[in-house]
């Protein structure tokens, strides 16, 4: 099943990036918000493992809370159009809380921009964004990302929560799919207009 994958970031490289993100986040949070709890809002499904690992890499004194939301994006297969739909909302109110959006990857930026707008409208005390992977090549919007783990290649990557048609999510590393006529990056990975669950 994984024959057509080339490793882009190993488990070790991912763990180092997560540790470094947790360090930066903890440093800034304590500096700016003292001992107020931080609320990590993970974006399902792609950021499932990232959120779990990031939360456990934070110092316990930070008193981190975890919540999740889920979105689907409509696009022409491998990228979102910006038409994002909320499938699951956070369990707790974020009003007055110090919130960090935890997202797997920012590509054209429309999904993160939508989430930032949505959560900002709920009047959190602060709102930051932390993404594991940045793909700056095809930005459609100038979205602010406070913490970036790794610069991804201009390719479709899977593993560590990221999928290709629901496959490969559970791989412990990140790999790129070999370019092939039927699933090359830039080609359609699923039907036009089909919902893409993250």
CB of 125 to ligand IMP, least distance (A): 25
For residue 117, the number of C-alpha atoms closer than 13 Å in the C-beta half-sphere is: 12
Which member of 55, 94, 104, 183 binds ligand IMP (CB under 6 A)?
104
DSSP label at residue 152: P
Which member of 111, 160, 171, 183 binds ligand IMP (CB under 6 A)?
111
Instruction: Give the integer Cα–Cα distance in Å for 43 and 68.
Output: 6
CB of 159 to ligand IMP, least distance (A): 9
Active-site residue set: 107
Identify which of residues 126 and 190 has a Cβ nearer to ligand IMP in the complex: 190
Instruction: Give the integer Cα–Cα distance in Å for 76 and 42.
Output: 24
C-beta of residue 131 within 8 angstroms of C-beta of residue 105? yes
Residues 41-60 that bind ligand IMP (CB under 6 A): 46
Beta-carbon count within 10 A of 27 CB: 11
Is residue 156 part of the contact set for ligand IMP (CB under 6 A)? yes
CB of 139 to ligand IMP, least distance (A): 8
Is residue 39 part of the contact set for ligand IMP (CB under 6 A)? no
Beta-carbon count within 10 A of 60 CB: 7
Which member of 51, 80, 116, 129 binds ligand IMP (CB under 6 A)?
80
Which member of 108, 119, 132, 183 binds ligand IMP (CB under 6 A)?
108
Residues 162-191 that bind ligand IMP (CB under 6 A): 162
Q: Directed axis angle between helix 11-33 and helix 48-57, to 10°?
A: 60
Instruction: Give the integer Cα–Cα distance in Å for 122 and 9.
Output: 35
Binding site for ligand IMP (CB under 6 A): 46, 79-80, 103-112, 135, 156-158, 162, 198
């Amino acid at each position: 099943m994984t024959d057509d994958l080339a490793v882009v970031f190993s488990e070790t490289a991912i763990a180092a990036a997560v540790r470094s993100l947790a360090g930066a986040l903890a440093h800034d949070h304590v500096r700016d918000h003292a001992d107020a709890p931080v609320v990590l809002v993970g974006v399902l499904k792609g950021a499932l493992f990232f959120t779990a690992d990031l939360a456990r890499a934070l110092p316990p004194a930070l008193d981190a809370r975890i919540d999740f939301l889920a979105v689907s994006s409509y696009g022409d297969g491998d990228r979102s159009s910006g038409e994002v739909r909320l499938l699951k909302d956070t369990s707790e109110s974020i009003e007055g809380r110090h919130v960090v959006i935890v997202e797997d990857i920012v590509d054209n930026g429309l999904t993160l921009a939508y989430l930032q707008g949505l959560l900002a409208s709920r009047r959190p005390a602060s709102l930051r964004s932390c993404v594991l992977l940045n793909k700056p090549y095809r930005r459609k919007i100038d979205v602010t990302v406070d913490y970036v783990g790794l610069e991804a290649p201009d390719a479709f990557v899977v593993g560590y929560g990221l999928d290709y048609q629901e496959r490969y999510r559970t791989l412990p590393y990140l790999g790129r799919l070999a370019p092939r006529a039927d699933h090359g990056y830039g080609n359609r990975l699923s039907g036009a207009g089909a919902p893409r669950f993250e």
